[in-house]
Structures are given as C-alpha cells and as structure tokens.
Amino acid sequence: MGKDEKRMAEWAANFSDLFYKCFIREDRYKLLLSGIGVTIKVSLLAIVIGILIGMVIATCNLSKKKLLRFIGGVYTDVIRGTPSVTQLMIIYFVIFATVPLDKWIIAAIAFGVNSGAYVSEIVRAGILSIDKGQTEAGRSLGLSAFQTMSRIVVPQAVKNIFPALCNEFIVLIKETAIVGYVGLMDIQKAGDFIKSATFIAFMPLIGTAVIYYVLIKILTLALRQVEIRLRKADAR
C-alpha cells in the first residue's frame, strides 16, 4: 500500500470515528432530526404570519389616508432598522413573557413580524408594477376598489412578486438559526449541543451546514417548479 493510500485510509478512519462520536454515539443524530422539525415548524408559521402582516402593511403604505401610511411607514422603518435577534428577545422575554404559548409559536410570531416588513415592500412593489390601466378598466366595469384590487391587480401582482417571496422564505429559514437564544433546540442549537458534548467543532458545524443546504435546495427546487407552472399558466 502506497503512502497516498495509507493517508486516505487514515483520513477515512478518522472521519468515520468523528462521525460516530458526533452523531451515532448516544443517538445524537436524533437531536438534529428534532431540530429539523423545529426549524420547519417555525419557518412555515412565520412565513404565513409574515405574508398576512405584509399584505396589511402594504395596503397601509398604498393608502391615501395619511394615518395608515404613517403606521405602515413606522412599522417598516422600525422592523427593518433593528436586528432580528433583538426583536426575537423582546417579543419572547417582554411581550409574551406571561403568555402561555409554546416557545416555537412565539418564535414564529417574532420572525413573522420581522418578515412582514420585508414582505410588505415586496407586495407594494408588485402592486405598483401593475399598469394603472388595469385598475381603471376594473372600475369602468363597475367593480369596487376592493373587487378591482382582489380580482384584477393582486392576481397579476402575485406572479411578479412570487420569486421575491420565495427568496424571503429561504432567508427566513436561515434566520431561524438564532432561536437558540430563547431555548429552542433547532438545527443550529442541536449542532452547538453536540459540539459542546464532544469538544469537536468540525463535524457538528459541517453537519448543520449540510442540513441547511439540503433543506434550502429542496425548497428552491420545489418553488422553482411552482414558478414554472405560473409562467406556463400566464403564457396561455
């Protein structure tokens, strides 16, 4: 056996030993599996909350009423101007400190509030991208402002803003890596726990990075298929 082959064999043995210590011994891989579930739950609920808040704030920002524009502007400015980890801790330790809700739900609310500010700008830009003639055509047909917006403008805007919303969802998944600050065992926190228990940094960190990459890759491919279908439907 040559020197290169010996080195490869030693490297493989060392890698296998590190893998066993970090993920197999004491069933530590179950921490990562549980963390994946937490990350997915928080992200899904957060994006739903973010879209709902974003649509409301976008409506405020597009309103002709100064008070609504002021409220929407302040919300967007404050949320976008402060760190998401600070918002998470304020919502968890201050606003919901005495509310009997599960940790992951409170975390999802915090991320949803944060995401809402960015979604509102995405929605606002999407609505403004629709030609004013579409609104005028709807009103000339006897539709109310709400009907024109919901039946004509929004369906067209959705196709324009879908890629940006997909990107926001992907960013949101990565941002949830800070939920460990409020004691949630997500993917990142599970990796940190394994690192602390084994005193090995390389394998847990690489493992968490690979898991995040795979999750986001799967999500990206799935959303891309949805986008392709929307384009096909638009072409018809």
Contacts of 88 (CB under 8 A, 6+ apart): 107, 110, 111, 114, 178, 179, 181, 182
Distances (CA, A) of 113 to 74, 155, 172, 213: 13, 24, 11, 25
Query: What's the mean pLDDT when you consider all of the chain?
Result: 89
Query: CB neighbours (10 Å) of residue 49?
Result: 20
CA 88 distance to own-chain centroid:
14
Q: How confident is the model at residue 2 (pLDDT cuts 50, 70, 90)?
A: low
Strands, E assignment, the chain: none
Note the pLDDT of residue 122. 93
Single pTM value for the model = 0.89
- Mean per-residue pLDDT for 191-197? 93
Tell me: the pLDDT tens digits for 203-218? 999 999 999 999 999 9
What Rg value do the Cα atoms of the chain yield, rounded? 23
Whether the predicted pLDDT of 114 surpasses 80: yes
